[in-house]
Structures are given as C-alpha cells and as structure tokens.
Amino acid sequence: MKEGRRGALLVAGAALLWSTGGIGIKAIPDPALKIAFYRSAIAAVALWLYFRPRAWKWSPGFLTALGSYAGCLISFVVATKWTTAANAIFLQYSGVVWVLLFSPLLLREPFRTRDAAAITAAFVGIGLFFVGHFDTRGRAGDGVALLSGVFFAALVLSLRRERGVGAEAAVTWGNVLAAALLFPFIVSDLALTPKSAAMLLFLGVFQIAGAYALFVAGIKHVTATEAALIGMLEPVANPIWVFLLLGERPTLFAVAGGAIVLAAIAWRTLAAGRTPAGALPPPD
C-alpha cells in the first residue's frame, strides 16, 4: 500500500509538471518553432543524462516512433500558440481515441462494443471544439492540435507493435530529432531574453525531462489503469494554470467537449481494466 501511494504521487507529480506546458509556452513571446526547438534541445540533453538510453535497432517501427514523437512535440507547441491551451491539450489527448480505433487493424487487438461507444462519445466531444465563433488562426490551431493527437497515436501504436522498443529511447531521440528538424527554421534568430531562456530551461528540464523521470519511477508501483487515470490531471490542470495566470478562458463548448473526451477515455480505461495507450502519456 505504501509503495502504491508513493507511485501514485510520483505519477501525479509527472502529470502536474506536464500540465505546465500550456502556461510556459503561452508566457514566452518568441515564435512557436523557436520555442519548440529550444524546449526539445534542452529536454534531449536532460533526458540523455537521466536515462542514458542504449542504442536501439533502427527498425521501421522505431523510426516511426521517433518521427511521430517529434511531430507531436512540434505540433503541440504550435497548437498552444495558435489556439487556447484547453483546446490544444484536450484535442491532443484525443490520440487515445485513435489508438482504440486503429489497434484492431494494425495490432490485431480485439474491438469490443465498449470501444465503439467510447470512440463515438469522444468524437462527439471533439466536434464541440469546432462549434461557436469562427476564428481563422484559432481553427488552424485546433487542426494542428488534432494532428498532434494523431502523432501521439502513431507513437503508441509503433511502440506497441515493436515490443522491444523502449519508450525512454524514443522520447530521448525524438527530442533530438525535433530539435534537428527545427534548427534550419530558427538559425537566423537564436537570441533569447533572460526571461525566455529561464522559461525554456524550465520547460525542457522539468516539464518534459523531469516529468518523464517521475513517471518512469511511479509506473513501477501502480497499475496501467491507475497511471492513465491519474495522468488525466494534465489536461484538467493545463487550462486552469493558463486561466489563473494569463486569464485565457476556454469556450463553454470546449469545456464540454473536453469533459466528454476525458469521460469517454476514463470509462473505457476502467471498463477494460487497463489503459488502451499502454500507460504511455501524451508526449507534449
């Protein structure tokens, strides 16, 4: 019981650190790609020092995991800059729904009635994000956030397809790849203000690397279901931090849509007794 409580607290700490991504990205005045570059570059160094991941076989599955993780990192930052923090995190979290939808086809996992019900409810919730006032930049941000969820699903499916691939290696090298891909776009503007540099250090060292360190330690002592449900602190807390510190208000439709998506995922997780995403959190 004591170890289980410790594991739950570690996972909760990881989720709360992940949830600071929205406020951190919103608070930095620099362009999205510049933020994404520095965050991933700093996180790559921190993750390498912590995990020291061994070299994995450069198989198609591992390459898919790297590409999808890098895409998820970049698209989440862009989405958070272009739309509300609530929309960005809730729509990225919809990646779990894509895992449920495509795992029977790609992994030959059984598709049950509860899966269909959860997917249907989640898509209703996703649809609510696109109801209301039309804003070109905001709608583009919502689209990028949905794409981030697709990247997350591709990461999970590729890691589950290749059972020997380590999530720690994919996360570490994925940050390296993201930084490498972004460098040509920001090389002409590398300067940072002290405030931006401090915030980016926090995002790289704590919001990504530190959170994964806590999660890896905590998952040893809790079930996958418990980890998945505790991890839902992230999409709940993320827009709350942004609202409290920056005053950004999500629409009522977005709040309702997010609640439906999270409820569908939680119900499916509890009904199955495990997380459909293999206890791997959305890598934002």
Residue 279 forms part of a structural domain? no
Through-space distance between the first and last CA atoms of the chain, rounded to whole angstroms: 31
Residue-level pLDDT at 207 = 95
DSSP 108-143: -----HHHHHHHHHHHHHHHHTT-SS--HHHHHHHH
Q: What pLDDT was estimated at residue 178?
A: 96
pLDDT at residue 52 greater than cutoff 90 = no
Amino acid found at 281 = P
Instruction: For residues 246-259, give the mean pLDDT.
Output: 86
Q: Is the CB of residue 250 less than 8 Å from the CB of residue 125?
A: no
Q: Which of 8-12, 74-78, 204-208, 221-225 has the lowest mean pLDDT?
A: 221-225
Domain count, the chain: 1
Q: Could you tell me which of 269, 265, 212, 235 has the C-alpha nearest to residue 88?
A: 235
Residue 202 pLDDT: 96
| 228-251 pLDDT, tens digit each | 778 888 888 889 899 888 888 888
Look up the domain containing 260 and give its range. Answer: 2-272
The answer to whether residue 284 sits within a structural domain is no
- Is residue 70 within 8 Å of residue 163, measured between CB atoms? no
Quote the CA–CA distance of 128 and 123 in Å, as a whole number: 9
User: Is 269 or 190 the better-scoring residue by pLDDT?
Assistant: 190
pLDDT of residue 277: 44
> How far apart, in whole angstroms, are the C-alpha atoms of residue 23 and residue 17?
11
Mean per-residue pLDDT over the chain, rounded: 84
